[in-house]
Amino acid sequence: MKIEIDDHRRVAIAAVLVVVAVVLVGRWVVVGSDVSASAARSPVVHANRTAVVVSGGSFDPTLRLVALRETEATTYVGSGRNIFHAAEERPKVEIVRKVEVKIPELPKVVAFDPIPLSFCGFSRTSGVSTVFLLKGEDVFLAREGDIVDRRYKIVHVRPEAVDIEDLLGERSERLVLRRG
């Protein structure tokens, strides 16, 4: 019969586990016997208010009158909580705060009527551009820099559009050539 390498590994692991188990059991037996022997030789006494308990587990039933008088003299004050009610009742507290909120003012939007002029035509003679503007039945001829109807300044003239500035409303508008 041939033993493979895997079988050798399993045997080695089992041997290590057996050695560890023997050490732990031996330690438990030796240490456990020392603790029980030392407890029997010198009992440790824990004093309670009403009774004395010996570490071996025995109970000293001696009546201690001083401790009894101390407990009779105490009065129960309590916290006001009902121990028979499952839900905890919390007093309702109202929190009132005065908060000042500063709302920034929005810029005032002023609605302007559109400029009442319409661009009707364009003419260029000797390098100077002239535009024809119509307001109602009135026709105005103007060049760049001219003021029309005592209010509108011609800023820039092109063959397809005119830029006009409203001097009273401080705004500008582009008028496109009206066809037809």
- At 107-121, the pLDDT tens digits run 776 667 788 888 888
Residue 48 has pLDDT above 80, yes or no: no
Is 129 a domain residue?
yes
Q: Which domain holds residue 160?
A: 118-176
pLDDT of residue 42: 45
pLDDT at 2 over 70: no
Total domains in the chain come to: 1
Q: With respect to residue 86, please indicate whether it lies within any of the assigned structural domains.
A: no
CA distance 123 to 128: 8
- The reply to whether 17 falls in a domain is no
CB 62 within 8 A of CB 41: no
Residue 161 lies in a domain: yes
pTM: 0.39
**E strand or H helix at 131:** strand 128-135
Q: Which burial class, exposed, middle or buried, applies to 117 when counting CB atoms under 10 A from its CB (0-12, 13-18, 19+)? A: buried
Does residue 28 lie in a domain region?
no
Q: Determine, yes or no, domain membership for 123.
A: yes
Comparison of pLDDT for 40 and 180, the residue scoring more: 180
Q: What is the pLDDT of residues 138-158, one digit of tens each?
A: 889 999 999 998 889 999 988
What mean pLDDT do residues 120-130 have? 85
124 part of a folded domain: yes
Residue 5 counted as domain residue = no
CA 29, distance to chain mean position in Å, is 59
